[in-house]
Amino acid sequence: MTKTLLQQLREMTIVVADTGDIQAIEKYKPQDATTNPSLITAAAQMPQYKPIVDDVLSQAKKDLGGRASDQEILSLAFERLAVAFGKKILQVIKGRVSTEVDARVSYDTEATLKKAHSIIDQYEKEGVSRDRVLIKIASTWAGIKAAEKLEKEGIHCNLTLLFGIHQAIACADAGVTLISPFVGRILDWYKKDTGKDFQGEDDPGVQSVTRIYNYFKKYDYKTVVMGASFRNLGEIRELAGCDLLTISPQLLKDLDSTEGELPRKLNPETAKNANIQRISMNQATFENMHAADRMASDKLSEGIKGFSDALVSLEKLLAGWLNEMGSKQEGELVHK
């Protein structure tokens, strides 16, 4: 019997679900799962997850007491919501879930540390070991420095919004557990910048992840590479063999319904023999390389803004539901 592409991919790569939709995770049974503010916002609006949202809002309101302002309740609730979805996801998968810190603190090391500790504390209060959680942080220099401290505390990190080799090397030097280079967003930038389309191994996103993977294996870094943000099956085919790949439910479905050969493209033994120059990384080198890389500069700032905007949207949604809850409770008091 011919194996599907998904079955073959699982033989060489850890498959991760890129979604907050628990039903999709149950269907495709990935080892790990990742979420981000956009995915949590989308999931929170699905009718089947409304009870989770209501529980989080009610508990936040109760814990803060009657004098708490709506803004204080919302600030606590939206962070707890990501943890609530993470806990539900962990009941389905065997591995780890990535939960993202507030993107609005991406350029502030101390604020990132505070948010990360809060997320881990909430998971541990719910009986979830920190070994099953990856704290997701944007790959700014400030974010990488925060992750370096967290890793020394036994809090494992997933550095996201990663677009350049300088970000990857800085993460590996910091002892970060995992990085998420964004394949599809790199492709998007080059298509817009050049007006050209790219396929297969010519895809700039594929080339970026391949370079990072080979560099890490060449120099024996423990940090693992998880390709993310895919636009098509071709990108996934070209990165077969990567440590991990985080894939949307639609592309998981496509992989699961497609048969044919899936040759391994990334291999640690091949990388060991590659002629790759080592780059010494410090903050000045990082900033110079980042400034010189228009794509990485554009996509990092754009990604942080996108995740920040998603958090604002989620806060507005929660504010509306909080008002509904208040009106409902007032109505119940009138009828008593």
Residue 90 inside a domain? The answer is: yes
Mention every residue, 6+ apart, whose C-beta is less than 8 A from residue 324: none
Residue 5 inside a domain? The answer is: no
Confidence band, pLDDT 50/70/90 cuts, at residue 3: very high
Average pLDDT score over the chain = 93
Question: Could you list the residue range(s) of the whole structural domain that residue 17 is in?
Answer: 10-335
Question: Mean pLDDT across the stretch 285-308?
Answer: 97
**How many domains does the structure of the chain reveal?**
1
Given the residues 61, 87, 115, 136, the one annotated as active site = 136
Q: Decide if 115 is catalytic.
A: no
**Other Cβ atoms closer than 10 A to 170:** 30
Quick one: which of 316, 311, 317 has its CA closest to 105?
311
User: What's the confidence (pLDDT) of residue 334?
Assistant: 45
Higher confidence at residue 300 or residue 56? 300
Residue 110 inside a domain? The answer is: yes
Q: What percent of the chain has pLDDT over 90?
A: 76
Residue 4 inside a domain? The answer is: no
Question: Mean pLDDT across the stretch 116-134?
Answer: 96
pLDDT tens digits, one per residue of 222-244:
999 999 999 999 999 999 999 99
Residue 245 inside a domain? The answer is: yes
DSSP 172-224: HHTT-SEEEEBHHHHHHHHHHHHS----GGG-HHHHHHHHHHHHHHHTT---E
Question: Mean pLDDT across the stretch 17-42?
Answer: 89
Residue 3 inside a domain? The answer is: no
Residue 118 inside a domain? The answer is: yes
pLDDT tens digits, one per residue of 150-187:
999 999 999 999 999 999 999 999 999 999 999 999 99
**Other Cβ atoms closer than 10 A to 134:** 27
Residue 335 pLDDT exceeds 70: no
Which CATH number goes with the domain that contains 278? Answer: 3.20.20.70
Residue 330 pLDDT exceeds 60: no
CA distance 233 to 241: 14
Helical axes 50-64 vs 70-90, angle rounded to 10° = 130
Residue 2 inside a domain? The answer is: no
Name the least confident of 224-238, 252-266, 306-320.
306-320
Q: What pTM was computed for the model?
A: 0.92
CA distance 210 to 72: 44
